Structure formats: structure tokens, C-alpha cells
């Protein structure tokens, strides 16, 4: 019998994502001026306030207030009517130095002996379902909100949008796990206030269905476009007015959208958040490395769907376990346990090796903090950082290195594919 699967996404203006973006902007600035910085920054945003907390060990000093305000303004919270603006919000910093008890387990005499920054398990997932090896429902959910943000910034076709929004996509699958059709799409978007509720709510629904959805559909490959149909149930701002939103409508915290950040409920999640953490925290770096493994395994043709789990003990160099689950879709004559053993010989999962392989000690994290950490396009960009204490630095960096298919040949050789 056919089944339904749903994933959601949230926009850059969602309060939790505002917090994530501030935390990662702080991390990027620390890494830009001191690549060996150890950072764990948390952010809370609410009406008119940004509160920064966490632990840092760094040789640089930052104007954290200005960095936080710049992020808020860039997202689009620039008006007093939003009750949260980068120019007027209060910014309180409670950041202090990292505990020496933690640091002694991470820093070692040689970089290669660096221990894991914490215990825990991390997961990576990949599927042939989409060109970027991501679950389809999540991929569409992200694209809906990316395009909605473009429409907001353009301000021509839809002029009343505010930054906060959410999306959700439900897809019907056949028994053999093939997408059949899109069943439901939910879009809730913050908007300007208006005089009459009913006409404006109808206009929002009409604009989302007739302007936004066609723009999203046009970006998708033909086989995905064919999943759109006249029977889709649309829930557009289903509660009615959505004027009060963002940090004024709901408090935001770093790390509360970990499923949106990863695989939309497919695969698995170890529970650790990403934003605000430097790569010595394996919650982040090993999750990226696990995605890198899973994506290269699927791209090499080893299996149609792969889940990778890795686990660590704090201060210990080697992972405590590596698991591979191919969900019965493997194309090689090996058990999943045998596959995992070979994978461990191909990919060095020591924390320092992950940092080096994926170039994680660079200021590359602000771009991850909205619309998903996985499934993005790897690219090289030049970023500029300015500080009243450290001057100006221009740095060329590679973004989303864990999405590169640079180990496909290694996998094929190891598994005789």
C-alpha cells in the first residue's frame, strides 16, 4: 500500500534560524582572524533583544554586537513595525572562555592526535531520489522558501512579504519507495498588516499558488515537475493573519531546527546541533564527514540509499564505531558490516583528518545556517571580514566541501565498481 512522507523547512527569518545565523557569523569571524579558535556560541533572540552566550578560546577579539546587528539587518529585520530590528535591538554578550577541562581533551602536542570535542553519534545520509542526493520532500521545501525570500527581496510581484516563513511538503510513495505525486503543500508566510482580512488572505493564497509555486516548479527536473498535480491540497497561512512573527512572535534559539538542517526526518539524527560550533566539535564536523561518505557511496553506485553512523568518546582520537546501512539497496556482494570496514579504510575519521580533508578551519559556516547544511552546491568564494580590532581580511574559501564527489573513484576502486 502506498504511504506518505512529509518534510518541512523554515526561512532565514524564522527566529530559530536568526539565532543560528548569528551564532555562525560569530564563528566565521573568529575563524577568519584566528583559524585555531575553539568556539561554542549560542544565541537567543526575542522582542528587541539578542542574547549571546557560550565558550570561546581564541587569540582574537570581536565586536560581537556589530556582527549580530549586521546579521539581523541582512536577513531583513530592518523596520520598527517588526518589533525586532538590527539597528535598534539590544545585544547582550555573556560569552566566556572555554573550560580547560574540555580543552585538554582536544588540544594535543600534534594536530593528528587531536581528540574529539565531545562524545556522541553522528549520522550522514544520501539517496538517489534527487540530483543532489537529498530526500525529495525536504529539497522541495527548501526551494519553496529560498524562492519566497527572493520574491520578498525583489518586492515587485509580491510586495507585502515579511522575513518569517515556513513550508512543508507531503509526497505519496509507492511500495517500492518511488515518489508518485505531491499530496499537500503548506506555506505560512509573515506579511504586512492590512485593513480587511478575508480579501488579503485570499490574495496571499492566490499569489503563493500562481506566482511562487510555478517559479519553484520551473527549477526542478521534469520527473519532479510531473509530481505536481491539480489535486494538491494547499494550506496557505492556515491560521489566518501572520503579521506578528520573527523574534517578536516567538523566541528563537540556536540549534532547534536540526531536522530541517539535515535530512527532513529521513535517515537518522544523533541529536547534536551544528551552528556556532567550531569543527573540533564532532557534532558538526563528523556529521559533515558522514554525509560526505554517504553521498560518495551512492554516487559511486554502491547502493541507492545509504545511512552512515559514526560515534566518538570525548578526547579520544579514533571513532568508537562506524556503521553503514544500505537499506537492502546495495549493489555489491558484501554485507553492510563488510562495507563499513572498507569505508573506514577509505575515509580517515579522526577529528583532525576530517578538519583537513573538508577544510573546516575556514570561515565557511554562515552560508550553512539557513536552508540546510546538506545538499548544497560546493563552490569557491571570496569573503571579506572587517574588525575595529583586527583590521580587514579577504579570504578565498571553499563552501560545502562535504558535498563534493571527490571520493567516487576511491570508492569504485575499493569495491570493484
Annotated binding site for K(+): 42
Does residue 271 fall inside a structural domain? no
Domain boundary among 222, 245, 268: 245
Annotated binding site for L-methionine: 55, 98, 250, 281
Does residue 39 fall inside a structural domain? no
Cell of 397: 574559501
Domain boundary among 197, 230, 245: 245
Does residue 297 fall inside a structural domain? yes
Annotated binding site for Mg(2+): 16
Same domain for 241 and 283, yes or no, is no
- What's the pLDDT at 152? 96
| Distances 109 to 79, 105, 317, 328 between C-alpha atoms, Å | 51, 11, 13, 44
Burial 357-369 (b: 16+ CB within 10 A, else e): bbebbbbbbbbbb
Same domain for 313 and 237, yes or no, is no
The CATH number covering residue 369 comes to 3.30.300.10
Same domain for 222 and 308, yes or no, is no
Place of cell 545511512: 307
Same domain for 314 and 201, yes or no, is no
Sign of CA dihedral 371, 372, 373, 377: negative
- What's the pLDDT at 240? 84
Q: What angle do CA 42, 48, 50 make, to 5 degrees?
A: 15
Report how many domains make up the chain.
2
Does residue 232 fall inside a structural domain? yes
Same domain for 315 and 396, yes or no, is yes
Same domain for 311 and 210, yes or no, is no
Same domain for 171 and 202, yes or no, is yes
- Strand, coil or helix: what is 228? coil
Does residue 340 fall inside a structural domain? yes
Does residue 359 fall inside a structural domain? yes
φ and ψ at residue 68, rounded to 5 degrees? -65, -45
- What's the pLDDT at 343? 97
- What's the pLDDT at 58? 93
Same domain for 284 and 241, yes or no, is no
Dist CA 353 CA 150 (whole Å): 38
> What element of type H or E holds 352?
helix 351-357
- What's the pLDDT at 110? 65
pTM summary value: 0.95
pLDDT in tens for each of the 417 residues of the chain?
799 999 999 999 999 999 999 999 999 999 999 999 999 999 999 999 999 999 999 999 999 999 999 999 999 999 888 889 889 999 999 998 765 544 555 655 566 678 787 889 999 999 999 999 999 999 999 999 999 999 999 999 999 999 999 999 999 999 999 999 999 999 999 998 887 788 889 999 999 999 999 999 999 999 999 999 999 999 999 988 887 888 888 999 999 999 999 999 999 999 999 999 999 999 999 999 999 999 999 999 999 999 999 999 998 999 999 999 999 999 999 999 999 999 999 999 999 999 999 999 999 999 999 999 999 999 999 999 998 888 999 999 999 999 999 999 999 999 999
- What's the pLDDT at 80? 84
Same domain for 180 and 283, yes or no, is no
Cell of 259: 531536522
Range of the domain at 343: 120-128+279-415
Same domain for 184 and 291, yes or no, is no
Same domain for 295 and 217, yes or no, is no
Does residue 364 fall inside a structural domain? yes
Annotated binding site for ATP: 14, 164-166, 241-242, 250, 256-257, 273, 277
Does residue 18 fall inside a structural domain? no
Annotated binding site: 14, 16, 42, 55, 98, 164-166, 241-242, 250, 256-257, 273, 277, 281
Contacts of 225 (CB under 8 A, 6+ apart): 217
Dist CA 176 CA 46 (whole Å): 45
Same domain for 235 and 303, yes or no, is no
Amino acid at each position: 500500500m502506498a504511504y506518505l512522507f512529509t518534510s518541512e523547512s523554515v526561512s532565514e527569518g524564522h527566529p530559530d534560524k536568526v539565532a543560528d545565523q548569528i551564532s555562525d557569523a560569530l564563528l566565521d569571524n573568529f575563524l577568519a582572524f584566528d583559524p585555531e579558535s575553539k568556539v561554542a556560541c549560542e544565541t537567543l533572540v526575542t522582542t528587541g533583544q539578542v542574547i549571546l552566550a557560550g565558550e570561546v578560546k581564541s587569540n582574537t577579539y570581536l565586536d560581537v554586537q556589530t556582527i549580530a546587528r549586521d546579521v539581523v539587518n541582512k536577513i531583513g529585520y530592518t523596520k520598527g513595525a517588526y518589533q525586532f530590528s538590527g539597528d535598534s535591538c539590544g545585544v547582550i554578550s555573556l560569552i566566556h572562555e572555554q573550560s580547560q577541562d574540555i580543552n585538554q581533551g582536544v588540544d594535543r602536542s600534534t594536530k593528528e592526535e587531536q581528540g574529539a570535542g565531545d562524545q556522541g553519534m553522528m549520522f550522514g545520509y544520501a539517496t538517489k531520489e534527487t540530483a543532489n542526493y537529498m530526500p525529495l520532500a525536504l529539497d522541495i521545501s527548501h526551494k519553496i522558501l529560498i524562492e519566497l525570500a527572493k520574491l520578498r527581496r525583489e518586492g515587485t510581484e509580491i510586495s507585502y512579504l515579511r522575513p518569517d516563513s515556513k513550508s512543508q511538503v507531503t509526497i505519496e510513495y509507492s511500495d517500492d519507495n518511488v515518489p508518485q505525486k505531491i499530496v499537500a503543500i503548506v506555506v505560512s508566510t509573515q506579511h504586512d498588516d492590512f485593513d480587511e482580512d478575508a480579501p488579503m488572505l485570499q490574495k496571499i493564497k492566490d499569489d503563493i499558488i500562481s506566482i511562487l509555486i510555478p517559479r519553484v516548479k520551473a527549477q526542478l527536473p521534469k520527473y519532479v515537475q510531473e509530481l505536481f498535480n491539480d489535486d494538491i491540497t494547499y494550506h496557505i497561512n492556515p491560521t489566518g493573519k501572520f503579521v506578528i512573527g520573527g523574534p517578536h512572535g516567538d523566541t528563537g534559539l540556536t540549534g532547534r531546527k536540526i531536522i530541517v538542517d539535515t535530512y527532513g526526518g529521513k535517515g537518522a539524527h544523533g541529536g547534536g546541533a551544528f551552528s556556532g560550533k567550531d569543527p573540533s566539535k564532532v557534532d558538526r564536523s563528523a556529521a559533515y564527514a558522514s554525509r560526505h561518505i554517504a553521498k560518495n557511496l551512492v554516487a559511486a553506485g554502491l547502493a541507492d540509499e545509504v545511512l552512515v553512523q559514526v560515534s566518538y568518546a570525548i578526547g579520544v582520537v579514533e571513532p568508537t564505531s562506524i556503521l553503514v546501512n544500505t537499506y537492502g539497496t546495495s549493489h555489491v556482494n558484501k554485507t553492510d558490516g563488510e562495507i563499513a570496514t572498507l569505508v573506514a579504510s577509505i575515509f580517515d575519521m579522526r577529528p583532525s583528518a576530517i578538519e583537513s580533508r573538508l577544510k573546516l578551519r575556514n570561515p565557511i559556516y554562515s552560508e550553512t545556517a539557513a536552508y540546510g547544511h546538506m545538499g548544497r552546491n560546493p563552490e569557491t568564494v571570496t569573503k571579506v571580514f572587517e574588525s575595529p580590532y583586527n583590521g580587514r581580511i579577504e579570504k578565498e574559501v571553499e563552501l560545502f566541501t562535504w558535498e563534493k564527489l571527490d571520493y567516487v573513484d576511491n570508492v569504485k576502486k575499493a569495491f570493484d565498481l
